[in-house]
Structure 1
């Protein structure tokens, strides 16, 4: 089969899935859950439809937090935003930062160093899957809040639920319903 036929089949299947009528009670519950997670409903519903799971954890990258130096603190607005999210916070740090110190600032359940740029796909996959196992988390119930394409690759390699740019998430755009 050609790629255009596969693309057509995928778009038809997605349209049918997203066009399905849900009972109003289910939609209300999902809207409330999206608000509790600080996400727009369309983003939350898309993740739910794709993974079939609710989001239980967010993996924030230090880049998304805007922290690039060892002595740089997480700003108060960012900490407040994380505290309001109804998902357990986890932290992934860029090389050269102290994961435990930065994780303590945001109340992270776990804090770890992310794979450095140039790490192979299989090594990223193994590292992410190992972290998920250690935390007892299903990958498709964890949303990554990051900034770089490298972080997006880690999300894909680890089988996480999705990726939202930190600038969008912390600007409150993900709040709009």
Structure 2
């Protein structure tokens, strides 16, 4: 695969889309969970999305239940939780694995393009973030501890590139 636009993913409503639908946009791809210590980041992600969506930012949320079973709900429950508790309006996708033999091909690609701490490939926890440039190339990987507010500058830079 040459960039993220080559991947097909399933929205939480069951619609399959090609990420090329977002071509020319800056993407922030995040593996999420509803019962995690980092779950309040949904609020910051939505704020970032609201602030920059008119300039071309799209946040893509990929629920994942691989870390402490912190995303046990089904697609409808996850969407309702995110909407009611955090006002999430950015696209949410079907639950995925980000590590292991059943890992999403998109996440396999992301991990190859941007390594974590000490050059590790594996996603360590929920709310790992990947910033994607307008050309579909991975610009940077952010740890779960990195708040959405703290990556505002990187988002601005990607949008102005």
Would the TM-score normalized by the shorter structure come out above 0.5? Answer: no
- TM-score, normalising length from structure 1? 0.37
Between Structure 1 and Structure 2, the one with more strand by share is: 2
The structure whose residues are more often helix, as a share, is: 1
Structure with the bigger RCO (C-alpha within 8 Å, sep 6+) is 2
Larger of the two Rg values belongs to structure? 1
